[in-house]
Amino acid sequence: MSERKTGQPYSMEEILSFDRIKRAMTNRILDQIEDLWQGKEPVGAEQISKIISDEWQKVKEAVRSSPAAKAAFRKYLERTVSEQIDKLVKEDRGELESLGVVEKSL
């Protein structure tokens, strides 16, 4: 049986790619279902869906708080801010040039 990681947060290695996420989630979900079952009645579809949904939320939180996600968000913000500033400069270029603003400073 696989090492039990049910209550542990996801490691960075587990959330590097979709195939790794799927593998890690599958293992954790199967472990949880086996723990619930313990030779008793079968686990219902609603219980399985809830376990999957809860585990998916844990994965998303792990991805959102990862260093890679923070770096990607920073790049997105830099690009978005730069595009908006460029748009403003383009709109008001003539006025600003008439007030002495030059293309590049020395």
Nearest to 63 by CA among 24, 6, 27: 24
**What is the model's pLDDT at position 6?**
58
Nearest to 12 by CA among 58, 63, 72: 63
Rounded Cα–Cα distance for residues 82 and 68 (Å)? 21
**What is the model's pLDDT at position 2?**
45
**What is the model's pLDDT at position 1?**
42
Rounded Cα–Cα distance for residues 93 and 103 (Å)? 10
**What is the model's pLDDT at position 104?**
83
Per-residue pLDDT for the chain (106 aa), expressed as one digit of tens each?
A: 445 565 789 999 999 899 999 999 999 999 999 988 887 778 899 999 999 999 999 999 999 999 988 999 999 999 999 999 999 999 999 999 999 999 887 6
**What is the model's pLDDT at position 91?**
96
pTM, two decimal places: 0.65
> Which H or E run includes 5?
none
**What is the model's pLDDT at position 5?**
61
Rounded Cα–Cα distance for residues 27 and 1 (Å)? 10
